Amino acid sequence: MTRQYWGYRINKSRISFFRSELEQNHRLRQGWGWDERQNLRKLELNEGAKRNLPIFNKVKKGDILIIPRLPTWSEVAIVEATEDFCDGYEFKIDSELKDFGHCFPAKIIKPFVRQNKHVNGDIRASIKNPSRFWNMNQCADSIEALIKQSSDLKDTVTHSARFNNALNDGICIALDQSDFYENLYSSLNETLSNEEWEYALVEGLRKILPEPIMVERTGGITEKEHGTDILIKYPGLLGRTYGVAIQVKDYEGVMSGLAIHQINKSTTYWDSENIKIIEKYVIVTKCKKENNQQLEHISGDVSIIFSCELKDLLKQIADGYIGLSN
């Protein structure tokens, strides 16, 4: 079977932990694993753990994972899966950090720096993907060339870069160990109205999404026709555009299915504008997922981002503004 190539992100505030686990124990860790009920073999508690199922199901022995910010801040690791992840997976919560229980069998092949002369532009472009896990098969030839490359792939790491590595690591740890992100979420909920959340998220998404992706606020008079507060547009071939439609609500407590009904209008409306909607989201800024289990039966292809997931998104946005993203 032809091996696959994947992008994979780690918690940037725990670089040394991920490095030691991979180098010493041949384990590639992942977060959202602080409770035994989050074991992917018998998942009973989600709270974000379900996001690891694509990793669990898709990565096979011999596949290659490209991991930014490993083994140091300025480097990118080329890692090989040593077993099918669904077979070699184990759930073992770290005793000190009380998280990162998802362990996948892997070994590091070599690291590289993005600006090394042997690193092709397709790899650098793909690494900008903000997702936690994504497919990089389009970079297969470039990645294989790096694996075979005998020259030093880290020759742009200067003394200045090493200082910046240590500085950025220190900032990440300080932010993660404080209440910075929790306070940010609370502050925004206290100060922003529904409409103001739309503007804030537009600015934030523009900060973390790479060009030529466009983010627009589309709420207003015509919203009743398309149900879209924010539209993310990706250019396609032959003038076609692909879109992600987002509805934003500052609901709290138990929510109705009205927002889902509204965002479902986006598919037909934007198709008439030559925009094919490929994902639909409802962001509810204050609602908790555990209080809204009934929505799973009516949400269909609409993804709902509750308060817990919104905090993760705000963390990405904040890191983008501070300069710690990607």
What are the structure tokens assigned to 177, written together? 């160990």
Q: Is the confidence at residue 192, as pLDDT, over 70?
A: yes
Q: Which helix (H) or strand (E) holds 194?
A: helix 194-208
Tell me, what's the pLDDT at 162?
56
The residue type of 60 is: K
Tell me, what's the pLDDT at 304?
94
Q: Is the confidence at residue 8, as pLDDT, over 90?
A: yes
143: nearest Cα among 107, 116, 118, 106: 118
- pLDDT digit string (tens) for 151-178? 888 775 455 565 666 667 777 777 776 6
Q: Which of the following CATH numbers is that of domain 180-322: 3.30.470.20, 3.40.190.10, 3.40.50.2300, 3.40.91.30?
A: 3.40.91.30
Higher pLDDT among residues 156 and 87, named by residue: 87
Q: Hey, where are the domains in the chain?
A: 5-170, 180-322
**Which fold is adopted by the domain 5-170?**
ph1033 like fold (3.10.590)
Mean pLDDT of the chain: 90
Q: Where does residue 129 rank: exposed (0-12), middle (13-18), buried (19+ CB within 10 A)?
A: middle
